[in-house]
Structure 1
C-alpha cells in the first residue's frame, strides 16, 4: 500500500508540474507569437483603438454596415448562444422583431432578401463577420444616408470580402468593423 501511495504522489506531483506550470507557460509563449501578442488583435483608426479583430461590435446607425446580432450583446466575457432552438416561440419572436427592425431601416429590401446571418446570432454571440450577401443587401440604405453611389459601396464590399480558407473551408465573409473603418475613410 505504501508503494502505491508513493507512486500516486509522484505521479500527482509530476502532473501538477506539467499541467499547472509547463503547459500554461507554453501556451503563453505561443500567444506572444500571435497578432496582438496574446492580448487580442486590435483595430485602430487615427491612432485610436476602435475594436478587436475577433470580436463583433454593435452597429445600429444607418450609415454603417450592421453585423450579426448577439445573444450576449457583444460582451466577450459572456460569450454564448441563446440555447433556444429554431422552433422555440421566444426565439422566433426575437428573430421576427429583428426582421421587422431591419425592414424599417431598409425599405428597399423584402423579407425574402434578408440573409439569415443578419437576424440570427452566431454560436458565440461575438462573430465579427457577415456574408457578402448580408453586406450587399445593406448597400442601398448606406448609399442613401451617406450620399454615395451604390457602385462605390459594392466595390468596397468586394475589396473587404475574405475568401474561404485555402479556397475550400468555410464561406466567403466580410469583416464588419474593417469594412466600416474603410467606409468612414471614404469621401462622400
Structure 2
C-alpha cells in the first residue's frame, strides 16, 4: 500500500516507518525536518506542517491510508481531521495514548492519582481526540492505545489485544515495546478489524 505517515521520525513514528517498509509498503514520511528521515527503498520524505490544513491535505492526497504519529499537545485535532477529510483519503489510523483507557468501570487511567502529572496534558488531549473521532462519520478511523508503559524493546510479535480497558499481565504490569506496538498497528492497516474503534495492545 501507499501510506502517508505523519511524524515518521518520532519515537513511535520511526518504528512504524521501519515496520511498514519491512513489509513492502511505500511510505511518504511527512515531517518537519525531511533530512532526518532515513533513506530506504519505498521511502519518500516530505516537509509538512500539522497546523497547515491545506498544505497537509495536499501531501496526504492520493494515498491508500494516513497514519498519524504526532503528539496531541503538538498538534490540533480539528486541523488534522480536516486535512485528512479534505485530502480524500478515508482510512485514518491514529497512534493513541494509554491515559484514556479504563482501569475500572468509568475510571480512566489519567483519572487515577498514580498517573504522572507530567503526562496529564498530553493524555487528556488524546482522550479529546478520541472523542472527536467517535463522532466522525466521514472517515474509516482506528485509534490504537498502547499499554501504560511503552518503551524501546524487542520485536516479538507476541502480545494481546484489548478494547477500552488497560491490559495488565499476571504481575499487574502494563507494558508493550514500541516495536511490537508498530506490528499491531500495521497488522490493523493490512487486515482491518477495528473500524471506527479504539483498541489497545499489551503483554
TM-score (norm 2): 0.23
The structure whose residues are more often helix, as a share, is 1
Kindly name which structure, 1 or 2, has the bigger radius of gyration based on alpha carbons. Answer: 1
TM-score (norm 1): 0.25
